[in-house]
Amino acid sequence: MDHGITAATIRLTGAGGDEIEAYAASPSGDQRRGGIVLIHHMPGYDRWSKEVARRFAVDGYDVLMPNLHFREAPGADPDDAAAANRAAGGVPDERLVGDVGAAAAYLRALPTSNGKVGVIGHCSGGRQSVLAACNLDLQAAVDCYGAFVVEDTEPGYPVRMTNLRDQLPNLGAPLLGLFGNDDVHPSPEHVDQLDQVLTELGKEHEFHRYDGAGHGFFATDRPAYRQEQAGDGYTKIAAFFARTIG
């Protein structure tokens, strides 16, 4: 198998017709394949997130990651852009859906596309992955420790996010959820609540929970990283995407 990939920063016409930055990664070869929209975590469009994009390209998918903070701070370092976005109140849900929809359309227009697109997000991106799958034509969604799906942000939280309970009946794609049992946002209780709601709605979902892991356990550049749990999580993600968009 040829594991060669190409990666580049491109421009994408996102929500509202705005031109934003995006990171594209693709495997070599012209075989038909699925696409993945990667939603970066709240710290931003950073080096680790681009490494994740390249990882999925090595796995055989076309990947596109929009820079959700580009409008607030074009050209800024990820930390500064994330701070500017938090100061502006965070990424509006409607804008997020527009940006992900544009990224999905971009992937489907590639000559290598098999027509199937999945979405995956970490941290705030986990919630946004669920949001996107409730509003767009997607074939798979992965939520990596996304909070505020069944609960609202509490007073004093850096950004304001409301729960997605009213949107969950519209979830149109199978959902894979990966959570740490030491996390607070979302807590194990919140994961239980989401599991119950999706079960009652008859939505296809598969949750995995990890002892000894808290928020951000996939992030290799942060103290929260947990190698064993992240490794198992990637195995679960690979199997899920192979089944749904491969």
Per-residue pLDDT tens over the stretch 113-139: 999 999 999 999 999 999 999 999 999
Q: How many independent structural domains does the chain possess?
A: 1
The proportion of the chain whose per-residue pLDDT surpasses 90, expressed as a percent, equals 93
The CATH number covering residue 100 comes to 3.40.50.1820
CA nearest to 8, candidates 75, 73, 63: 63
- How high is the pLDDT of residue 3? 72
CB 10 within 8 Å of CB 19: no
Q: What's the pLDDT band for 181 if we cut at 50, 70, 90?
A: very high
- Confidence band for 244, pLDDT divided at 50, 70 and 90: very high
Domain that holds residue 102: 5-244
- For the whole model, what pTM was predicted? 0.96
- Tell me the pLDDT band of 160, cut-offs 50, 70 and 90: confident
Q: What is the mean pLDDT of the chain?
A: 96
Q: What is the pLDDT of residue 2?
A: 61
Torsion of CA 108, 99, 221, 84, to 10 degrees: 160
